[in-house]
Amino acid sequence: MLFAPVVVALVVFLYVFCVHSTVKSATVFNVVRGDSVTGVANRLAKNNLIDSKDAFVALIRFNGGTIQSGQYDIPQSASLWRIARMMTTGDVATTTVVIPEGLTVMQIKNILLQHSGLQGAVECDDNKSRPVCNLKDGQIFPDTYRVARGTNRLAVLELMRKKMIDVNNHIKAAYRVLPRPLKTWDDVVTLASIVQKETPIAREMPIVAGVYLNRLNKGMRLQADPTVVYALTNGLGDMQGKPILSSHLKIDSPYNTYRNSGLPPTPIANVGQNAIRAVMRPAETNFLFFVADGQGGHRFSIDYAQHQKNHDAWRKIKKSRNK
Interval 258-279: pLDDT, tens: 999 999 999 999 999 999 999 9
* pLDDT of the residue at 3: 54
Least confident range from 155-164, 197-206, 253-262, 303-312: namely 303-312
Q: Which residue has the higher pLDDT, 1 or 284?
A: 284
- Residues of the chain with pLDDT > 70, as a percent, come to 93
What pLDDT, in 10s, does the model give residues 34-76? 999 999 999 999 999 999 899 999 999 988 889 999 999 999 9
* pLDDT of the residue at 9: 47
**3-class DSSP assignment, residue 322:** coil
Interstrand relation of 144-148 and 70-74 (parallel, antiparallel or unpaired): unpaired
* pLDDT of the residue at 294: 85
- Listed in sequence order, the residues at least 6 apart from 8 whose beta carbon sits closer than 8 Å to its beta carbon are none
CB 93 within 8 Å of CB 70 = yes
Average pLDDT over the chain, rounded to an integer? 91
Q: How far is CA 242 from CA 233, 238, 294, in A?
A: 11, 9, 18
User: pTM, whole model, 2 decimals?
Assistant: 0.87
Consecutive H or E run containing 29: strand 27-31
| Dist. CA 109–CA 9, nearest whole Å | 56
CB 115 within 8 Å of CB 97 = yes
pLDDT at 10 over 50: no
Where do the domains of the chain lie, and which CATH numbers do they carry? 15-89 (3.30.1490), 94-171 (no CATH), 178-321 (no CATH)
| Dist. CA 160–CA 130, nearest whole Å | 14
Least confident range from 123-127, 137-141, 162-166, 183-187: namely 123-127
CB 280 within 8 Å of CB 179 = yes
CB 304 within 8 Å of CB 218 = no
